[in-house]
């Protein structure tokens, strides 16, 4: 596997307390192509990123999903991995996902916190129940066979991501990816990936507000796919 043919994309917003640890750990494992797409941080996130040799770009729109969508225009490698800035993702999973992708000729491999009944170290009870609920709903509505639909930690072909025509600019994109992957008959699988305690800050996901938006958007996407509104939200 060629690490130079894979870009690790890190969406950020005010992550100065953890971005250096995250980037340094990635680089220690041989991942040197790192793209930080920053949502107008008011701290030194991008300054730290640039000093560590990352490519840093400013996000034009708002929302996590929008960061993912915009990042696709900057990636020049064949493969992409989306990664969180808060040190909660275990970067050792990238190698396993990339290997599985190549060995089994897949289009995308998802990391999962809950595969084989595993658990996240960063979950609250409410988050755990919410993730289980949305994953079950996603599998029922879209026919996906995954164990963690809201953990956006994949390794994939860049071409696959571009063809998905992703449209949700918030955390709804996390379920939009596997739903459209399955709908378009792309080949996918998942591997167990540990989620660690974040080293700084709190989750930017609001369990009530974002949970309600995700619930509404799941049904909107299902309706759009039924009536041919592919790519619309």
Residues 6 or more apart whose CB falls under 8 angstroms from that of 145 comprise 139, 182
- pTM for the model stands at 0.93
Q: What is the pLDDT of residue 114?
A: 94
List of domains in the chain: 3-226 (3.90.550.10)
Q: What is the pLDDT of residue 123?
A: 79
DSSP assignment string, 19-30:
HHHHHHHHHHTT
Say if residues 175 and 150 touch (Cβ distance below 8 Å).
Answer: yes
Per-residue pLDDT at 199 exceeds 90: no
Cα–Cα distance, 221 to 207 (Å, whole number): 20
Side-chain half-sphere exposure of 204, counting CA atoms within 13 A: 14
Query: What pLDDT digit, counting tens, does each position of 18-73 carry?
Result: 999 999 999 999 999 999 999 999 999 999 999 999 999 999 999 999 999 999 99
Q: Binning pLDDT at 50, 70 and 90, where does residue 3 land?
A: confident
Work out the average pLDDT over 127-136. 92
User: Which is it for the CA torsion 224, 180, 167, 150, positive or negative?
Assistant: positive
Say if residues 125 and 60 touch (Cβ distance below 8 Å).
Answer: no
Per-residue pLDDT at 232 exceeds 70: no
Q: And the tokens for 15?
A: 């992550």
Work out the average pLDDT over 4-18. 96
Q: What is the pLDDT of residue 122?
A: 77
Cα–Cα distance, 83 to 118 (Å, whole number): 20
Q: What is the pLDDT of residue 127?
A: 84
Q: Binning pLDDT at 50, 70 and 90, where does residue 203 land?
A: low
Query: What pLDDT digit, counting tens, does each position of 135-179 carry?
Result: 999 999 999 999 999 999 999 999 999 999 999 999 999 999 999
Candidates 181, 108, 111; CA nearest to 152 is 111
Query: What pLDDT digit, counting tens, does each position of 205-225 carry?
Result: 776 788 899 999 999 999 999
Work out the average pLDDT over 109-123. 89
């Amino acid at each position: 596997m060629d690490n130079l043919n894979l870009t690790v994309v890190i969406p950020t917003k005010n992550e100065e307390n953890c971005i250096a640890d995250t980037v340094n750990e990635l680089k220690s494992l041989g991942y040197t192509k790192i793209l930080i797409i920053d949502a107008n941080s008011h701290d030194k996130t991008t300054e730290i990123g640039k000093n560590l040799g990352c490519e840093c770009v400013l996000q034009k729109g708002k929302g996590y999903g929008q960061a993912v969508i915009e990042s696709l225009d900057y990636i020049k490698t064949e493969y992409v991995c989306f990664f969180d800035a808060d040190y909660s993702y275990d970067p050792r999973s990238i190698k396993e996902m990339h290997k599985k992708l190549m060995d089994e000729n897949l289009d995308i491999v998802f990391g999962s916190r809950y595969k084989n009944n595993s658990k996240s170290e960063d979950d609250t009870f409410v988050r755990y129940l919410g993730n289980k609920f949305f994953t079950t709903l996603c599998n029922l509505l879209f026919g996906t066979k995954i164990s963690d639909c809201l953990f956006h930690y994949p390794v994939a072909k860049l071409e696959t991501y571009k063809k998905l025509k992703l449209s949700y600019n918030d955390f709804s994109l996390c379920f939009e990816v596997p739903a459209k992957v399955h709908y378009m008959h792309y080949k996918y699988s998942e591997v167990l990936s540990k989620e660690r305690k974040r080293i700084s800050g709190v989750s930017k996901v609001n369990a009530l507000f974002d949970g309600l938006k995700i619930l509404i958007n799941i049904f909107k996407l299902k309706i759009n796919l039924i009536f041919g509104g592919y790519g619309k939200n």
